[in-house]
Chain A
Amino acid sequence: MGKVLLKNIENPDSADINEYKKAGGYSNLPKALEKQPKEIIEEVKKAGLRGRGGAGFPVAMKWTFASADPKFPKYLLCNADEGEPGTFKDRPILEKNPHLLIEGMAISGYALGAEYGYIYLRGEYPEAKNILNRAIKQANDNGFLGDNILGKGIKFHLAVHQGAGAYICGEETALIESLEGDKGQPRIKPPFPVNVGVFAKPTVVNNVETLSNLPYIIEIGGDAYSKIGTPDCPGPKLYCVSGHVEKPGVYELPMGTILRDIIYTHCGGIKGGRKLKAVIPGGATTPILPPDKIDCPMDFVNMPKHGSMLGSGAVIVMDESVCLVKVCYRILKFLEHESCGKCTPCREGTGWLRSILGRVEGGEGMEGDIDLMLSVSGNMMGKTFCPLGDGAASVVQNFIKHFRPEFEEHIKNAKCRFK
């Protein structure tokens, strides 16, 4: 299988519409427009496409709900707010292959009956904003977007909405709030966005990578697509690997590629031949794994069976030089900073855990601190408004689960030996 999502990105002008067209781009949108919207949703269902943002929700199901809602207009939102530490998989699509996303969104919009789309782009990607705006203009000028796409009387308008620095806006209802000009705080569900989303209209929120799969699904058909990767969650997947590997970067591989293979085969193993200490497989808030637990297929279904989650496919590899108490502290500091403040356990708990971790890491830990952290994270887990707080609790629980001696050592010796 050739590259689908990262196709042609070595070409320095890959973001230009003509280069994209030369490489076969915008050939699937006309094909899609020949079909009935329902047929496209059926193809997506056959393809077994799952959302690539982190939750792995079946895309066709979301679309079916939204297209069945009688309210108009409908909206298609592209979640381009990748903020999970370690994640940089959508950036190459946004910067190098924007027309793939636009074509995917035009197809999706048609399938859903959505007339308006927004790309909610994180504020930290200023370059991508300019690239996307230029690409959208080109697509409009070429009739791939607008009031009358390819002369078929189909309407789909697309605009970029730039976020302003809030991790929580990756949560779809927070993203909607932010798009509406409010704080990115999650909404009460139900109602779900598919019925009452942005501007109180039926709304589908899909990730950049998810939507970028659409042209390919149209190209080869749902059945063929479903043969790629693992049967439960097929398709190509972007894995972004950072940390102590020889060749960090974004890799497009079939869904379900074994984590060990990603690290050792594709990324050339641990930097400098040092020893692997731990891997966070799906972005900073997914459960950390010790070196003996990395023979797991990286997909939405199998990772939970192996004690972690696929998340955003952001693999952070850490060698033996790393202090895991410090990493845990840093992640909690991040989550405290990003907690939206809406619910009590997350707002207060993330800061409390961060401060305990801070003192343990700083050599001022007290006896009982580990149990205290487990108790505090237990008081958060399952009680927070959205997954951010659960994630914070889970990070602490899993670091302690796999690396408790390292925490104990910090407390006992009243110092960090990695300094």
Chain B
Amino acid sequence: MLNEAAVKELNEIRQKYPNARAALLPALYIAQREFGHLSPEAYEAVSEILGVPKAIARGVATFYVMYKHKPMGRNIVQLCTNVSCMILGAEKLVDFLKNKHGLEPGGTTSDGRFSMVIMECIGACGTAPAMLVNDDFYENLTEKYIEEILGKYK
């Protein structure tokens, strides 16, 4: 079950919409934050509050890539490899993360510190290659810069 604060937050968000169903995407974000990922319990909590059948909620959530369906590391490295980033060397950075940090796309480091996800265009093409770590943008990436960035996340 969601804790009281999360339920309150969700009920506030619910007020932004004319019906409960429309609050499903934000509710899933909250449940993901609270449960770590969208576990069966997370769906049940959302379903209970919004009245959206849990199978339907799961169908919707799995359509979107930003919802996580398995436990993730404490920090999520989201590296873009789409065209603008690719032609400026993003793939080398993928190799770098793999070889140097054991971070494979879709994988999590054994210490649970990082998970890595390959992103489709994150809107930083003018400063490619780019990535997000959690909610923070990092642009004009180089191997050296990545080293420095990762050091900031424990």
Contact = CB atoms under 8 A, between A and B. Distances in A.
Direct touch of chains A and B (CB < 8 A) = yes
Contacts of B87: 243-244, 316, 318, 322, 327
A127 interface: yes
A338 B120 contact: yes
B128 A126 contact: no
A85 B26 CA distance: 25
Contacts of A248: 125-128
B83 A316 contact: yes
A318 B18 CA distance: 47
Given A86-B121, A184-B63, A240 B25 contact: no
B59 to A, nearest CB: 7
Contacts of A165: 64-67
B25 A85 contact: no
Contacts of B72: none
Contact of B125 (A86, A244, A334): A86
Contacts of A85: 82-84, 120-121, 125
Interface in B33-81: 52, 59-61, 63-67, 78, 81
Contacts of B119: 124
Contact of A88 (B21, B26, B86, B126): B126
Given A163-B64, A167-B120, A180-B21, A243 B26 contact: no
Contacts of A86: 82-84, 121, 125
B96 to A, nearest CB: 17
A331 B28 contact: no
Contacts of B26: 161-162
B22 A162 contact: no
Contacts of A242: 84, 125-126, 128
Nearest to B19: A199
Contacts of B22: 179-181, 199
What does DSSP make chain B's interface, helix, strand, loop or mixed?
mixed
A330 B86 contact: yes
A161 B25 CA distance: 8
Given A181-B60, A334-B120, A337-B120, A163 B128 contact: no
B25 A181 contact: yes
B24 interface: yes
B116 to A, nearest CB: 15
Nearest to B117: A165
A122 B127 CA distance: 19
Interface residues of A, number: 53
A115 to B, nearest CB: 11
Contacts of B111: none
Residue from B119, B122, B127 having most chain A Cβ neighbours under 10 A: B122
A316 B83 CA distance: 8
Contacts of B125: 85-88, 240, 242-243, 248, 314, 316
Contacts of A318: 87
Interface in B95-141: 119-128, 132, 135-137
Interface string A239-265: 011111000111000000000000000
A126 B123 contact: no
A284 interface: yes
A181 B52 contact: yes
B23 interface: yes
Interface string B1-37: 0000000000000001011011111101100000000
A250 B125 CA distance: 10
Contact of B126 (A122, A240, A331): A240
A164 B28 contact: yes
Given A166-B63, A166-B65, A330-B86, A126 B121 contact: no
Interface string A197-237: 00100000000000000000000000000000000000000
Contacts of B86: 326-327, 330
B37 to A, nearest CB: 14
Contacts of B128: 242-243, 248
Task: Among A85, A126, A127, find the residue whose CB has the most chain B CB atoms closer than 10 A.
Answer: A85
Contacts of A337: 120
Contacts of A83: 120-121, 123
Contacts of A331: 83
A418 to B, nearest CB: 11
13 contacts: A88-B124, A122-B123, A126-B135, A165-B64, A179-B22, A181-B23, A181-B24, A240-B126, A248-B126, A316-B87, A331-B83, A334-B83, A338-B120
Given A165-B67, A179-B22, A330-B81, 15 more contacts: A85-B120, A86-B121, A87-B125, A163-B66, A164-B25, A167-B120, A181-B21, A182-B21, A182-B24, A199-B19, A199-B22, A242-B84, A249-B126, A330-B83, A331-B83
